[in-house]
Structure 1
Amino acid sequence: MNKSIFSSKILPIILVALLSSTVTAYGFLQWHYRNPNYIILSEEEAKVFEQKSKKKFDPDYAITFDKSGVDFENIKKYNEVKRLLNTYYYEEVNQNDMLEGSIAGMVSALKDPYTVYFTKEQMKVFTENTSGSYVGIGVSLTMDAEGLLTVVEAFPESPAKDEA
């Protein structure tokens, strides 16, 4: 009789629990494999996040990395360098300046002379220097520290190019 209770009631419950946990684990692993991003928090940041969990998490403030293209060790190194600078740098660290520097570093790492990143201030100067109308003989000049002008290039279809 005990054998029939086990096989008719307990065994089906165990099999259903085992099957459902297997399906759940498989689904989680599939999701984890297809999810291309990491959100990295240090233990300290995680504790602070847990304490302030009353606020809604805003993913726009998360920096994400493609796990298929970025080694986890590099993400940990990035966070550790940031933590060390925040802790031990001799002056107060401006977080926005560090983020701007990170962005500039990403663009610089491409080693492409035609791909550049300008901060808001740099873009303003660039726009001022390149806006307006051009008049003159059609050359690009540079000035050294002593004030000596040097012709860098003659523009195509300009009087200077025609005479060169």
Structure 2
Amino acid sequence: MRGGYNGFSYADLAERFGIRKPSIHHHFPSKVDLVVAVVEQGRARIQAQIATLENAPIAMDQLRMYTGYWERCIKDQSAPFCLAAVLAAELPSLPEQIAVAVRGHFADLAAWLEGVLTLGIQQGTMRLETSPKLEAESFMAAVYGAMLVARAFDDPDRFSTIVEARIERVRI
């Protein structure tokens, strides 16, 4: 999404995808409906990916697979940034229904990360300086911040460097 929520219209989508605006309106009566549907679709996809990650019995492996996904996306430009993160930057100006969906994305991710870090403590492979909840939010902030830094410097390797430092901070 270039230009954020306020930077696109149904006309832009119709032109890009070669469809008519009424076709979009038929499925999504408002722009809010469309964006909420896209965010919720992304949340469902992430939940499925998380379920796959949870098949790895070792917490550190789960953490590395999660960050590895973003590392690959950033390096090959397949998904250089998370849509929910783009929308989160605009939260104060977004309609409430979109804000709820975006917050839900981050709550889901934070809860999963908290579980992974807790598992890492139980397995004796991780150490935390604060609570698993706070460490999960800190880790999430580091990953999303690393996305920004990689983009700002046009250097995908910076993502890897920042995230690796954060992983080393919890590794025993």
TM-score, normalization by structure 1: 0.24
Which structure has more relative contact order (CA 8 Å, sep 6+)? It is: 2
Q: Which has more helix, going by share of residues?
A: 2
Q: Which has more strand, going by share of residues?
A: 1
Indicate the structure (1 or 2) with the bigger Cα radius of gyration. 1
TM-score, normalization by structure 2: 0.23
